[in-house]
């Protein structure tokens, strides 16, 4: 299969290339593209050096499959051209909520791929790890409400945000605490938390929070699914964490939840006082769950802790898994 990766020098693009190799995706020819500033750079893939080409020079008729790991503006400009010739898997939010575009997490709604029109969207990183866990729990009982607090690493904001965190950590280490003059994030992140990811809407929710809410509803095919989200940027390099409260319409035991999640694909469950942390999930493709417990005053309410590598399962791995599904059709 002739494959193109658009945005090949970004954090997600690099991970897609890595995952394609590790999962032995049947690539017969790999072509890599990025902005002009990356022209001439080379990337090693399967012991071959591949030179980066520029986006404006792409001929999509030469490819069977194209991964897009770029911003919304570029996706909107180039994907309509690409899908005339090849299958596109898009990591941006540009088309996620379009009625005719499947939004897919393979462990949850693989059947949605059957309806694609040469374009399949991969969800927001925080949405992915959340729905992987919610989906098997919906089979236990009706869910009355979900509340999620999403603690998101700076890699979700790109390489410049990673550089900012590293810079601020180094400054803090030598006792300097002045705010940086400019930042790709909204506020300083070293030794800090930022309770805003994206722009605020009139309802008080940020764009990141709306992504979780609306994308979860679309993936679960439940337009009124009862969910609320709060997203916080935290001083962690890679790995998103979530505190999730789920209220069912009946009493659900911890043992039931543990069993359901253990049997579900793509999930690793921690028990007996053990719990996953961002440092534990680096470069892993599963979603990790721990601290499963009842709410103290409500036996119909379960609280749990979810962690995943946002660059792997939250981005690159999910995209490649979608491509694997397409191959099976």
d(CA 270, CA 252): 18
The catalytically annotated residue of 86, 125, 231, 241 is 125
**Residue reference for tokens 């540009």:** 94
Task: Name the 3-class secondary structure at 124.
Answer: coil
Q: Report the alpha-carbon distance of residue 225 to residue 129 in Å, rounded.
A: 17
- Is 240 assigned a catalytic role? yes
As given in the structure block, the two tokens for residue 40 are: 């001439």
Beta strand residue intervals within the chain, DSSP E: 2-6, 29-34, 42-45, 48-54, 65-68, 87-90, 119-121, 143-152, 227-233, 240-248, 267-269, 287-295, 298-308
Instruction: Judge whether 116 counts as a catalytic residue.
Output: no
Please count the residues of the chain: 329
SS3 content of the chain, % helix, strand, coil (to 5): 35, 25, 40
Selecting among 116, 231, 240, 241, the annotated active-site residue is 240
Q: What are phi and psi of 316, to 5 degrees?
A: -65, -50
| Cβ atoms 97, 72 nearer than 8 A | no
Query: Within 10 A of 158 (CB to CB), how many other CB atoms are there?
Result: 16
Residue 240 CA to residue 329 CA, distance in Å, equals: 32
The DSSP output letter for 291 is E
Q: Which of 236, 184, 237, 231 is nearest to 207 (CA)?
A: 231
Q: CB neighbours (10 Å) of residue 25? A: 18
Q: Catalytic positions, please?
A: 125, 240
């Amino acid at each position: 299969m002739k494959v193109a990766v658009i945005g090949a020098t970004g954090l997600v693009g690099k991970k897609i290339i890595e995952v394609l190799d590790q999962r032995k995706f049947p690539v017969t020819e790999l072509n890599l593209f990025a902005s002009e500033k990356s022209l001439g750079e080379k990337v090693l893939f399967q012991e071959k050096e591949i030179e980066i080409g520029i986006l404006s020079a792409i001929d999509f008729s030469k490819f069977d499959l194209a991964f897009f790991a770029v911003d919304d503006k570029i996706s909107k400009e180039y994907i309509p051209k690409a899908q005339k010739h090849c299958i596109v898997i898009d990591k941006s939010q540009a088309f996620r909520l379009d009625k005719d575009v499947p939004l897919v997490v393979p462990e949850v709604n693989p059947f949605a791929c059957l309806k694609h029109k040469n374009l399949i969207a991969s969800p927001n990183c925080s949405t992915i790890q959340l729905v992987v866990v919610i989906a098997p729990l919906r089979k236990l009982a009706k869910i009355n409400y979900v509340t999620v607090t999403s603690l998101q690493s700076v890699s979700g904001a790109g390489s410049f945000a990673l550089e900012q965190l590293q810079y601020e950590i180094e400054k803090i280490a030598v006792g300097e605490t002045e705010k940086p003059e400019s930042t790709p994030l909204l506020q300083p992140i070293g030794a800090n938390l930022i309770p805003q990811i994206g722009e605020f809407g009139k309802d008080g929710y940020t764009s990141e929070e709306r992504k979780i809410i609306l994308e979860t509803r679309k993936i679960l095919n439940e337009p009124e699914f009862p969910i609320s989200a709060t997203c916080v940027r935290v001083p962690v390099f890679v790995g998103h964490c979530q505190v999730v409260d789920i209220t069912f319409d009946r009493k659900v035991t911890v043992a039931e939840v543990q069993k359901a999640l253990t049997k579900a694909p793509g999930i690793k469950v921690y028990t007996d006082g053990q719990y996953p942390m961002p440092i534990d999930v680096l470069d892993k493709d599963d979603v990790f769950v721990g601290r499963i417990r009842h709410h103290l005053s409500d036996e119909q309410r379960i609280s749990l802790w979810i962690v995943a590598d946002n660059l792997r399962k939250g981005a690159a791995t999910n995209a490649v898994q979608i491509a694997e599904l397409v191959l099976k059709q």
